[in-house]
Amino acid sequence: MSNSVTREVPAPPGATPASAGGGAAPRRRRLSLGGSAGIVAGLVILCGYLAITQPIFLTWGNITNIVLSNSVILLLAIGATFVIIAGGIDLSAASAGTACAMVLGLGLSSGLGAVTALLLTLLAGLLIGVVNGALISYLRISFLVVTLGTLSILESIALVSNQGTTISVFELEAFQGVYHFTLDRIGGVPILMIFDVVVVAAAVLILRYTPFGRSVFAIGSNPEAARLNGINVALTMLGVYVIAGLAAALAGIVQVGRLTAASPAVDSTLLLTVIAAVLIGGTAYTGGEGGVGGTVLGVLFLGVIQNGLTLSEVSTFWRGTVNGLVLIVAVALGVARHSGLFRRRKGKVS
């Protein structure tokens, strides 16, 4: 038999016969930001405050600066959104990004062409994703154990790869393409910003409009139900970690472009900022809920706060405190919303 979904089923008990086409109940369109109303409000208030107190805030230069300087975080966070929705977490994300940056740096400095070096970098990200995913879904090792392990391994490999020293690529001919990609603008709009938008759109498409994306939600919500409904759970999980690996490769490329160098040191706060952004954006750490739209808001929220602190000449040492507070408050508000404190309860009586 085929998985045909069109076959009609016998007349229902006590239900009106289904009239094909018409008569669908009026339906509330679900916004992808539906669960993120709080973060949108917070972002608007924050921007309003900064616009009034810091004249420079609303300038195009400052706005693009916020987006560009948070691109690495955004790319990693998009990968992390897939993983967290699927019910896992990828602790190796930041280390993977750094390792991929080193692959690009070494590739360029050893005389490879730009395209070859970039493909090699993406291949490295893919490989990291396959290793993480295969260990987790086929060998059934806990995602915490696997990604904690690869976090440490990748961090160390990045250091070993060039004896712990930074590779400067600024002078290299092959680097110029990457450099212009992260620096240039088309009609005032940075190419990198356009690239970010394209990646976000692709991620939204995959997550919401493909069977794969739906399977990710199903697995995060109830892996056993997903399996019994014919979803290939192991393969889907592998795909999720591959996406995270590719996101790390993109982040590594952008990092090299913006620094004009490949640094082997993993930014110790990067991973936590990425996960915080995903959670602030309304993706549930318990899996099955969330979206890329929310993650974009989460990244922007943290980015704008960071920008505001800089503009207000507050010491950057405070950054972690503010990020931590925002994370706790945002997730607490999200929990409160779900438990119905701020919303009319649904009619669940029985």
Partner 1 sequence: MVGTDPDNESAPPLLSVRGVSKSFPGVRALHDVTLTVRAGEVHALTGENGSGKSTLSKVIGGVHKPDAGHLEIDGVRRSLTGPADALRHGIVMISQELTLAPTLSVAENIYLGRAPRTRWGAVDWAAMRRAARTVLDDLSVHVDETDRVGDLSVELQQEIEIARAVSSDARLLILDEATSSLSEAAAARLLELIAEQSARGIAVLMISHRMPELYACATTATVLRDGSLVATVPLPETPEPELVRLMVGRELGDYYGEREVELGEVVLEARELATDDGALRPTSLTVRRGEIVGVAGLVGSGKAELGLALAGAVAAQGSVQVNGERVGLSSPRKALASGIAFVPDDRKRSALLPVRSVAENFAVSWLGGLSRFGLLRVRDERRQVDRAIRTYGVVTSSAANRISHLSGGNQQKVVLGRVFDLGCDVYVLSEPTRGVDVGAKSDIYRLLHGIVEKGAAVILISSELPELLGMCDRIVVFFEGEIRGEFAGEEMEETRIAEVAVSGGPSLPAAPGTA
Query: For residue 91, which phi and psi values (nearest 5 degrees)?
Result: -75, -15
What minimum distance in Å lies between the beta carbon of 22 and partner 1? 10
b vs e for 145-172, b when ≥16 Cβ sit within 10 Å of the residue's Cβ? ebbebbbeebbebbbebbeeeebebeeb
Nearest to 304 by CA among 55, 69, 1: 69
CB count within 10 Å of CB 123 equals: 15
Contact 266/83 with Cβ under 8 angstroms?
Answer: no
Nearer to partner 1, 186 or 228 (CB): 228
Contact residues toward partner 1 (CB under 8 A) are 1-7, 9-16, 18, 20-21, 24-25, 27-28, 30, 205, 209-215, 217-218, 221-222, 224-232, 284, 286, 288-289, 344-350
Nearer to partner 1, 3 or 315 (CB): 3
> What is the distance in angstroms between the CA of the first residue and the CA of the last residue of the chain?
40
CB count within 10 Å of CB 26 equals: 4
Nearer to partner 1, 252 or 281 (CB): 281
Nearer to partner 1, 166 or 232 (CB): 232
Nearer to partner 1, 114 or 242 (CB): 242
What minimum distance in Å lies between the beta carbon of 135 and partner 1? 20
| 3 state SS of 348 | coil
What minimum distance in Å lies between the beta carbon of 328 and partner 1? 22
Nearest to 95 by CA among 316, 295, 274: 274
Nearer to partner 1, 9 or 139 (CB): 9
DSSP state of 265: S
What minimum distance in Å lies between the beta carbon of 30 and partner 1? 5
Give the pair of three-digit tokens for residue 216: 């990710």
Nearer to partner 1, 107 or 288 (CB): 288
CB count within 10 Å of CB 24 equals: 7
189 has which bridge partners?
186
